Chain A
Amino acid sequence: MTLWLFVLQRVSALFLAPLVIGHIGVVIYAAREGLTAAEILARTQGSPGWAIFYGLFAVAVAVHAPIGLRNVIREATPWDGRGLDLAMALLFVVLLGLGARAVVAVVAP
């Protein structure tokens, strides 16, 4: 399993790198002149492009974050074993669910 987690972490990172660069660009662009819901939604609502972009982002981050946290927790605390694995799997489900909900919230027409 550890090998698969290692591979998934790197694969998700390869997806996240360009997505994060794009997201930082959007954040800097959007931060000028204040941020309103109308401005955000005008960009994203009904847009297949943003749906794909942030949909991929949500999936990749849901995979990447729990695997990374699992490593940090195992190395920095006594917590290890099945309990930690289950907690991180739960975190994956939570992040995937919240992330998908957030994407739908901003791209649904």
Chain B
Amino acid sequence: MTRPHRNHAGYAAVVAHRVSGVLLALFLPAHFLVLGLALEDAAALDGFLRWTEDPLVKLAEWGLVIVLSAHLAAGLRLLVIELVPWRGTRHGLIGLGAGASLLVGALFLWSAFRA
């Protein structure tokens, strides 16, 4: 008996890959514009960076780090499926990828909130 496709971990991986990709594509121009502030002078960039000290902004950055890690993990899965002669399924590795993304997020939080 076949399960509905949405019950497969692979479906979650594909959705995570797409959603994270769209979010990153939306974030990227803003990220480049902020870095470009350094062209004016360091004070312009510092002004923006002071805003990022806000805990809510740090939380958003945490989200971004998780999103980037998740997109990387799901992307690596696709590259393996398409390019690597892997025998059998990659069962369990999707969960590992999700766990690794959360771990990277936790590392970022630990680093950002160390006083």
Please tell me if B36 contacts chain A, counting CB pairs below 8 Å.
yes
**Could you say which residues of chain A place their CB within 8 Å of the CB of B104?**
24, 28
Give B28-56 interface residues, CB cut-off 8 Å to A.
28-29, 31-33, 35-39, 42-43, 45-46, 49, 52-53
- A69 close to B111 (CB less than 8 A): no
Query: What secondary structure prevails in chain A residues at the interface with B?
Result: helix
Interchain nearest-CB distance for B71 vs A (Å): 8
CA distance A68 to B22 in the complex (A): 8
Please tell me if B84 contacts chain A, counting CB pairs below 8 Å.
no
Determine which of A29, A33, A35, A37 lies in contact with B43 in the assembled complex, contact meaning CB atoms within 8 Å.
A37
CA distance A10 to B82 in the complex (A): 9
Chain B interface residue count, CB cutoff 8 Å, equals 39
Q: Can you give 27 contacting A-B residue pairs, CB < 8 Å?
A: A10-B79, A13-B78, A17-B72, A17-B75, A17-B76, A20-B72, A24-B65, A24-B69, A31-B61, A31-B112, A33-B114, A35-B49, A35-B52, A36-B46, A36-B49, A37-B38, A37-B46, A65-B24, A65-B25, A69-B25, A72-B21, A95-B29, A95-B32, A98-B32, A102-B33, A105-B35, A106-B35
Residues of A at the B interface (CB closer than 8 Å) are: 10, 13-14, 16-17, 20-21, 23-24, 27-29, 31-38, 40-41, 58, 61, 65, 68-69, 72, 94-95, 98-99, 101-102, 104-106
